Amino acid sequence: MLVDSHCHLDYPDFSAELPQVVARAQAAGVSHLVTISTRVKRFDEIRAIAERFDPVFCSVGTHPHQAAEEPDVTTADLVRLAAHPKVVAIGEAGLDYHYDTSPRAAQEQGLRTHIAAARETALPLVIHAREADADMAALLEEESAKGAFPFLLHCFTGGADLARRAVALGGYVSFSGVITFKKSEELRAIAASLPEDRLLVETDAPFLAPTPHRGKRNEPAFVRQTAIALAAARGVSLEAIAAATTRNFFTLFSKARA
C-alpha cells in the first residue's frame, strides 16, 4: 500500500478526467490521497473533490504565493473549515523566497496564522519551504517553544540542517519526484539520513513528475516511482518503504483513519 500525501487535484490539468486519475492511483496501489488547498477562497472546490472520491482527503489553507491575496484569513476561519470530516490537514502555508510572489512579511504572518490553527486543531500543518531554510527553521523553533504542533515539510528540497532541525521538533519530511532526478544526489543523501518514522512520499501532482515520467503531467499513480527511489536511497525494499510511509501517513494524518 502507498499513499500520496500531497497532490493538487483541483488544477485544470485534471478537471476532465478526475475519476480516471483516482482509478489509476488505486490501480497502482495508492490507498489515500490528500489534495491540497492553496487559497481559502477556493476551498469549496477542494472539499467537493474530497467529498466525491472516498480515497481523497484535503487540507485547508493559503499558499505563500497567495498570502497577500488572503491577508484576512484568521485562525478561527481555518479551524471552522477544518471541522469537515474530510479535512485532515492545515495548509499549505510557508515561506517561498525563490519567487517572492507575496511580500515576505505576508508569508510569515500567514504561516504563523496557520501554525496557530494546527496547534488548536491538532491537525498537521503542510509546510512549503523554498530557499528559506534558515528563516523557516528559526520560525518553527520559535513557534514550537510556544506550544507543539504537528507539521510536514512537503516536497522537501532544502538542506540537511533544516531537515535535522524539523525532525528534532517532531516534524515529518515528505519527498517528491525530485528525489528521482539525476542531479539530486544531495537530496537522496538527506533522505537516507533521516529516521524512518519521519518519512513520507508525495507527487505534488500535476508538478514534478518523477523519472521516467519527467516532463509529463504528474499524477498520484506516479508516487510509486518516488517510493522506489526513496527505497533505493535508503538501501531497503519498496515494500519496506511503502509500509513505513503508509504507517507514518496515518500517524500524522490521523483523521484520515476515521
CATH code for position 131:
3.20.20.140
Contacts of 180 (CB under 8 A, 6+ apart): 210, 211, 214, 225, 226, 229
The pLDDT assigned to 32 comes to 98
Q: What is the pLDDT along the chain (258 residues), one digit of tens a residue?
A: 999 999 999 999 898 899 999 999 999 999 999 999 999 999 999 999 999 999 999 999 999 999 999 999 999 999 999 999 999 999 999 999 999 999 999 999 999 999 999 999 999 999 999 999 999 999 999 999 999 999 999 999 999 999 999 999 999 999 999 999 999 999 999 999 999 999 999 999 999 999 999 999 999 999 999 999 999 999 999 999 999 999 999 999 999 986
Beta bridge partners of 11: none
What's residue 11's pLDDT?
A: 95
| Domain containing residue 45 | 2-257
| Number of domains the chain is built from | 1
Grid coordinates given for 21: 486519475
Report the pLDDT value the prediction gives residue 54, as an integer from 0 to 100.
97
Give every CB contact of residue 157 below 8 A, 6+ residues apart in sequence.
Answer: 130, 178, 187
Alpha carbon distance 57, 238 (integer Å): 24
Neighbours of 213 (CB within 10 A): 17
- What is the per-residue pLDDT for 258? 66
